[in-house]
């Protein structure tokens, strides 16, 4: 459990720094960052955040990386008639 807590702290500290290139203009805002701790015996978890572009210029999130994970994916969430659904990008 200590390792999971350390990984969570590392990600929380590194994610804003990793987005600094996009956020340097002050037009990109990240909010509601959350990474769930894994129960004993589980190896997969999820991280969630909201990204808001406050400019008129289109921006792209082209990859995500978590050095402690074997694989990272980007998904979008949509509300489909009251049911939340995830779609891999």
Q: What is the residue-level pLDDT of the chain in tens, covering all 89 positions?
A: 455 554 555 555 555 545 544 445 568 888 888 888 888 888 888 888 888 999 999 888 888 888 878 888 888 889 999 999 988 88
CB contact at 8 A, 51 and 28: yes
CB contact at 8 A, 77 and 86: yes
CB contact at 8 A, 7 and 62: no
Helix (H/G/I), strand (E/B), else coil: 70: coil
Question: What pLDDT is recorded for position 37?
Answer: 86
Q: Distance between CA 12 and CA 89 in Å, rounded?
A: 23
């Amino acid at each position: 459990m200590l390792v999971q807590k350390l990984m969570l702290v590392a990600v929380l500290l590194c994610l804003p720094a990793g987005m600094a290139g996009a956020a340097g203009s002050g037009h990109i805002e990240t909010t509601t960052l959350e990474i769930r701790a894994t129960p004993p015996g589980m190896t997969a978890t999820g991280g969630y955040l909201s990204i808001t572009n406050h400019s008129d210029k289109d921006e792209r999130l082209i990859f995500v990386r978590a050095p402690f994970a074997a694989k990272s994916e980007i998904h979008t969430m949509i509300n489909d008639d009251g049911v939340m659904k995830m779609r891999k990008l």
